[in-house]
Amino acid sequence: MAAPALARCMARTGVLPLGQAWGRAPRLPPSPLPAQRRAFSNNKVLVELDESAGVATMKFKSPPVNSLSLDFLTEFCISLEKLENDRACRGVILTSAVPKIFSSGLDITEMCGKSTEHYAEFWRAVQEMWLRLYSSNMVTVAAVNGSSPAGGCLIALTCDYRIMAENPKFSIGLNEAQLGIVAPFWFKDTFVNVVGHRVAESSLQLGSLHSAPEAHRIGLVDELVPEEKLKDRATAVMQQWLALPDHARQLTKTMMRKAVLDRLVAHREEDVQNFISFISKESIQKSLRMYMEMLKKKKS
Ligand SMILES: CCCCCCCCCCC/C=C/C(=O)SCCNC(=O)CCNC(=O)[C@H](O)C(C)(C)COP(=O)(O)OP(=O)(O)OC[C@H]1O[C@@H](n2cnc3c(N)ncnc32)[C@H](O)[C@@H]1OP(=O)(O)O
């Protein structure tokens, strides 16, 4: 099925028609076949699977800034679902193929001047991405090799472990307040689970974008490495996590994340309606338009 058709199906049903995000059987270790590498790709995400290690790398490739458009989100979910159902894959490293940018967050053009139906479709796709990634049975490591505001930061926060490249130009955080918008409760819950309530409260209210050292200091990222070592370090961390039996790790992950996941699952449609009413306000539309203009002016 093509991405737009899948997106429509997600909009109707609220889920990808590929399988279930919930109640999956625990993963089994990969079979002892000869070492093999596989790659598959769509327009937005490149996936390389090292079957001998049981590890895939998902590289975002949606220039200029890997914004999370409806197409991106749909293709991201398809790629993740493929890996989730592949017994040869036990872990996934998320990173970017676009220099200097991990992801610029939700595509603002998807939230400006569109119909109510479009907002509903887009928001369900954002929810789906988070539900699938946060509940993934695989070990998920974010190798943050560029700036990562708002939705980009959410992707990193949703992983099990975050490693960021030490580059003074890169920043990360949930900066929604700076755009005049509010991070939804499940963005906030994910953030609180990583950095704790006090840090999350001030960072969210100020819409802070943290430099890499600051992000490390507040626990937003687990470690910093020189850019050229990021890939190797992500691979090493993955090996460490995969040394444990899958079932024990998976059950522990579920135990830690269930309450937050259940909260969105229980209020999914209400959350879509809240998004639509919020984003449709003329004052919010004006803030978003001004923000986009500011981004463009910054260039000239
Ligand atoms: C009661 C409560 C109810 C709550 C209900 C919910 C409320 C709504 C919740 C919405 C949550 C939103 C989450 C988000 O993710 S919003 C997006 C936030 N993102 C940002 O603020 C990042 C903006 N971008 C940047 O800061 C920079 O672009 C960046 C540092 C990423 C890269 O800088 P660089 O200089 O390399 O590139 P440019 O700035 O020149 O950008 C290149 C072009 O890309 C366009 N662009 C950038 N970011 C986005 C984006 N997020 N969406 C769409 N387009 C984007 C930029 O305009 C440039 O375009 P042009 O080349 O055409 O000028």
- Which of 256, 285, 283, 271 has its CA nearest to residue 183? 271
The mean pLDDT of 73-99, rounded to a whole number, is 97
Q: Whose CA is nearest to atom 6 of ligand 1?
A: 275
Give the residue, by CA position, lying nearest to ligand 1 atom 4.
184
Give residue 173's region: left, alpha or beta (phi > 0; psi -120 to 50). Answer: left
Cβ-contact 87, 31 below 8 angstroms:
yes
For atom 38 of ligand 1, the residue with the nearest CA is 295
Candidates 54, 105, 146, 151; catalytic one: 151
pLDDT at 261 over 70: yes
Cα of 104 from ligand 1 centre, angstroms: 5
pLDDT > 70? residue 87: yes
Please report the DSSP string for 58-116 in residue order.
EEE--TTTT-B-HHHHHHHHHHHHHHHT-TT--EEEEEESSTEES---B-GGGGSS--H
pLDDT at 41: 84
Least Cα distance to 180 among 203, 152, 207 occurs for 207
Cα(155) to centroid(ligand 1), Å: 15
* Interatomic CA distance for residues 132 and 28, integer angstroms: 19
Among 69, 264, 295, 296, residue to substitute to test ligand 1 (most atoms within 8 Å of Cβ): 295
Superfamily of domain 30-299: 2-enoyl-CoA Hydratase; Chain A, domain 1 (3.90.226.10)
Residue by residue, DSSP assigns 190-254 as HHHHHH-HHHHHHHHHHT--EEHHHHHHTTSSSEEE-GGGHHHHHHHHHHHHHTS-HHHHHHHHH
Q: What is the DSSP letter of 14?
A: S
Task: Choose, from 73, 176, 209, 261, the residue flagged as catalytic.
Answer: 176
Could you confirm whether 75 is annotated as catalytic? no
Give the model's pLDDT for residue 29: 57
For residues 200 and 246, what is the distance between their CA atoms, to the nearest angstrom? 30
Q: Which of 80, 106, 131, 157 is catalytic?
A: 106
Answer whether residue 8 shows pLDDT above 60.
no
Q: Sheet of 45-50: strands edge to edge?
A: 37-41, 45-50, 55-60, 91-96, 139-144, 161-165, 223-225
151 is catalytic: yes
175 is catalytic: yes
Q: How confident is the model at residue 40 (pLDDT cuts 50, 70, 90)?
A: confident
Query: pLDDT digits over 174-227, tens only?
Result: 999 999 999 999 999 999 999 999 999 999 999 999 999 999 999 999 999 999
- CA-closest residue to ligand 1 atom 11: 183
Please give the residue that has the higher pLDDT: either 2 or 165: 165
Within 6 Å (CB) of ligand 1, which residues are found? 64-65, 67, 101, 104-109, 147, 149-151, 175-176, 179, 181-182, 184, 274-275, 278-279, 292, 295-296, 299
With tokens 């000869």, the residue in question is: 34
> What pLDDT shows up at residue 14?
44
Mean of the per-residue pLDDT values of the chain: 91
Reported residue count of the chain is: 300
Residue with CA at minimum distance from ligand 1 atom 39: 295
The CA–CA distances, whole Å, from 44 to 65, 67, 86 equal: 11, 10, 20
Task: At 213, give phi and psi (nearest 5°).
Answer: -60, -40
Is pLDDT of 12 > 70? Answer: no
Q: Where are the domains of the chain?
A: 30-299
| Look-up of token digits 């990222």 | 221
| ipTM field | 0.98
Residue 133: its H or E element = helix 116-134
Nearest CA to ligand 1 atom 5: 275
Q: What are phi and psi of 58, to 5 degrees?
A: -105, 120
Instruction: Report CA(109)–ligand 1 centroid distance (Å).
Output: 9
Closest CA to 100 of 167, 41, 159, 55: 167
d(CA 33, CA 122) in angstroms, rounded, equals 40
Count of CB atoms within 10 A of residue 43's CB? Answer: 11
pLDDT of 21 higher than 60: no
**Across residues 135-161, what is the average pLDDT?**
98
pTM of the model: 0.92
Told to judge if 43 belongs to the known catalytic residues of this protein, a careful annotator would answer no
Given a cut of 50, whether residue 283 has pLDDT beyond it is: yes
**DSSP H or E segment with residue 280:** helix 268-280
Ligand 1 centre distance from Cα of residue 108 (Å):
6
Q: Is 30 exposed, middle or buried (0-12, 13-18, 19+ CB in 10 A)?
A: middle
pLDDT band at 148, cuts 50/70/90? very high
**CA 106 – ligand 1 centroid, Å:** 7
Q: How confident is the model at residue 11 (pLDDT cuts 50, 70, 90)?
A: very low
Amino acid 29 reads: P
The ligand 1 atom at the shortest distance from the C-alpha of residue 106 is 15
What average pLDDT does the segment 52-75 reach?
A: 98
pLDDT by residue (tens digit) across 130-142? Answer: 999 999 999 999 9
